Chain A
Amino acid sequence: EAGVAQSPRYKIIEKRQSVAFWCNPISGHATLYWYQQILGQGPKLLIQFQNNGVVDDSQLPKDRFSAERLKGVDSTLKIQPAKLEDSAVYLCASSALLGTDTQYFGPGTRLTVL
């Protein structure tokens, strides 16, 4: 069974530029999560989708971050414009069911903002 796929694996941009990350969850998984992991810290949930609807985006900085999951399968996370403090690893995870089920994580995208 294929795991959670993410691209790109690495991205370097300058502040005020825009960037987008892509995630393809495990086939059949209804729930998709985006996490931000700053160096030395644990992952922090940014947004959670159930199919193509948002369940929780309370920790998403909505002035610069946006995410969509249009057909309930793959998802994109965008930052516009990027700030230095956005440098982090962005992790995507999926689970079969909402809430209770095990989350499976992708390898992440390492973003460096200069």
Chain B
Amino acid sequence: DAKTTQPTSMDCAEGRAANLPCNHSTISGNEYVYWYRQIHSQGPQYIIHGLKNNETNEMASLIITEDRKSSTLILPHATLRDTAVYYCIVRVYFGNEKLTFGTGTRLTIIP
């Protein structure tokens, strides 16, 4: 069973903020939200993860709602190189639970 729901595709204008939503209404208290992306012909690349507080790193920001049932990945100033498939994954932080990839959101940055 899929733990997350993402839109199939999105477009964003170059230079604008790209906001990628993810629903995870059945998330458990000990599960984190992870984001990976996969640029064409490359392996997936880790972006960010969080539990309940908003997180920011050099690549993106992660906003998790207070009830933790959904989250948004924000790429603040999208470039053409951000065109990729973005995967939202929930998994337990401790332990050996595997990364379970869905079909993700195909983000296209438009010049």
Contacts and interface: CB of A to CB of B under 8 A. Distances in A.
Interface size class of A (residues with CB under 8 A): 20 to 34
A103 B46 contact: yes
A12 B99 CA distance: 28
Contact of B43 (A45, A55, A91): A91
B-side interface mostly: loop
Interface in B38-95: 41-46, 87, 93-95
Contacts of B26: none
Contacts of B96: 48, 55-56, 98-99
A102 B46 contact: yes
Interface of A: 4, 40-45, 48, 55-56, 91, 93, 98-100, 102-108
Interface of B: 41-46, 87, 93-104
14 contacts: A42-B87, A42-B104, A43-B99, A43-B101, A56-B96, A91-B44, A93-B43, A100-B95, A103-B44, A104-B46, A105-B45, A107-B42, A107-B43, A108-B43
